[in-house]
Amino acid sequence: MSSMSNVEPQNLHVIFFPMIGHGHMIPMLDIAKLFSSHQVKTTIVTTPRNAPTFTKPLESYRNVGPKIDIEIIPFPSKETSLPEGVENFEYATSPQLVAKLWKATLLLQKPLKEVLEKYKPNCLIADKLFPFATEVAAEFNIPRLVFHGTGFFSLCALDAITKFEPHKSIISDEEEFVIPHLPHEIKLTRLKLPQHIRENNNNNNNNNELVEFLKSAVESEAKSYGVIVNSFYELEQDYADHYRKVMGRRAWHIGPVSLCNKENEAKFYRGKDSSIDEHDCLRWLDSKKESSVMYVCFGTLSMFSTSQLREIAMGLEASGQEFIWVVKGSKDNETEEWLPKKGLIIRGWAPQVLILDHKSIGGFVTHCGWNSILEAVSCGIPMVTWPIFSEQFYNEKLVTEILRIGVGVGAKEWKRTVDANVKSEDIHEAIRRVMVGDEALEMRSKAKKLKQKARLAIDVGGSSYSDLSSLIHQLRSYHLTQ
């Protein structure tokens, strides 16, 4: 194992190992760019079908920053009897496929070891959902850093719910309970908790495997060198402090990482191929008044019934606002007579950062995925919050109750598929509150201030820049202190 004691700065080599989902891969690519901009050699490890998510954006990045390498490892489709090409959670359209994909991710341990053997890097940054990564890194005598893909607030909320189980002391699923020992009084209902936590209440066996898997991820994290958080100190100061001082975790906030993409081209090529031309998109936005357009997008994994899509369409029409709606398509293959007649409809993948950064955007209807929230904050855009699953119900609380830059549509239950449980009038009402009137102006003003703070955080001397510099410094001297 090469010692780092007399290593030249550029010889520090970090391997990045993102989970096979766009919400994890895209920020990991941005983090690799940030490390690379600090003269660190960076290599991203991924599978054949996921490679274009990295290779395409890096083609345009070559003119801007240092080289980032991609190492492609085989995906265990045959071993897990997955259909060829299903290497990403976006393509896992049934619970059976999701279960097989989880199993497949555990089989990536062997090829990861082979990569570490080949490169002898100085550090491994692996997604939290690879529980084997800490042990693998230890075999090579290097630190493993965990990437969560979410912010401090949700990490603190989840920890408190797991540790203190406040949801077990209430009688009904609709009754509110307070999440204990947090800096603010935050209330939730049992319906808004992930199914495996809710059903663990009833000792449901179906979830045992998932619970065990998540437990091993938590244990692996506890043994790791620390956690990288895509956030900035000024956004959730109380929770960054709580995470480090009260929970005792070692963590570095280095975000918002999307801000490393300065040029329009870099913003456009994040993620998959966009289904709209960059210039057509900007031309449409340029023709609209400042802060007049509502952007509607629910991420790559959200599923909506046709009846719920119809309610969204009616809510958008009734609001009277201009809008861009990114439609993934309905779950059932009915005809799409429900599509609104006006507005810009984008099918499939949209260049989200490019859109949010445009002056004509005034609000964002979002599923509260952490990347989307941070991207909105970085662009100074208030939000209409519609959490669906994952940690999104916690994120909603941060936006609406702590930062006060958003209004909820009233989503009540953690669920993979959204049926028509949010009515068009609630959607219309929330959109109007974010776009029109004094409340909207107040939220916009708060959001604009956070945008300034976000940009200062990643600039030289800012809180995130300093945390990243400090982390890299510690990695450089890691072998000296062992």
**Residue 229: both structure tokens together:** 């958080």
Separation in Å, CA 425 to CA 311, 318, 319, 400, 430 = 8, 8, 9, 19, 9
Q: Tell me the CB-side half-sphere exposure of residue 14, using CA atoms within 13 A.
A: 32
43-63 per-position pLDDT tens digit: 999 999 999 999 888 887 777
The pLDDT > 70 percentage for the chain reads: 91
Q: Give the model's pLDDT for residue 198.
A: 84
Question: Of these residues, 13, 22, 30, 127, which one is catalytic?
Answer: 127
The verdict on pTM exceeding 0.75 is: yes
Based on the residue annotation, tell me whether 24 is a catalytic residue of this protein: yes
Based on the residue annotation, tell me whether 277 is a catalytic residue of this protein: no
Separation in Å, CA 41 to CA 1, 59, 66, 462 = 17, 17, 8, 23
Q: Give the model's pLDDT for residue 333.
A: 45
Residues 6 or more apart in contact with residue 337 via CB below 8 angstroms: none
Q: Give the model's pLDDT for residue 182.
A: 97
Q: Give the model's pLDDT for residue 2.
A: 41
Nearest partner of 340 among 431, 414, 457, judged by Cα: 431
**Cα–Cα distance for residue pair 254/231, rounded to 1 Å:** 6
User: Using the 8-state DSSP alphabet, how is residue 231 labeled?
Assistant: S
Q: Give the model's pLDDT for residue 195.
A: 83
**Cα–Cα distance for residue pair 41/482, rounded to 1 Å:** 22
Contact predicate 362/381, CB 8 Å: yes
**Cα–Cα distance for residue pair 414/384, rounded to 1 Å:** 17
Q: Give the model's pLDDT for residue 265.
A: 57
**Cα–Cα distance for residue pair 296/323, rounded to 1 Å:** 7
Residue 442 pLDDT exceeds 90: yes
DSSP E strand boundaries for 298-360: 303-304, 322-327, 344-347
Element (H, E) at 418: strand 417-418
SS3 label, residue 19: coil
187-225 per-position pLDDT tens digit: 999 999 988 888 765 554 456 777 888 889 889 999 999
Nearest partner of 304 among 365, 364, 356, judged by Cα: 365
* Cα dihedral sign, 161-302-381-189: negative
Residue 434 pLDDT exceeds 70: yes
**By CB neighbour count within 10 A (0-12 exposed, 13-18 middle, 19+ buried), where does 174 fall?**
exposed
Across 155-178, average pLDDT = 94
354-411 per-position pLDDT tens digit: 999 999 999 999 999 999 999 999 999 999 999 999 999 999 999 999 999 999 999 9
Q: Domains along the chain? A: 9-152+209-258+459-481 (3.40.50.2000), 273-456 (3.40.50.2000)
**Cα–Cα distance for residue pair 52/271, rounded to 1 Å:** 8
Question: Of these residues, 22, 24, 242, 428, which one is catalytic?
Answer: 24
Q: Tell me the CB-side half-sphere exposure of residue 310, using CA atoms within 13 A.
A: 12
Q: Give the model's pLDDT for residue 3.
A: 42
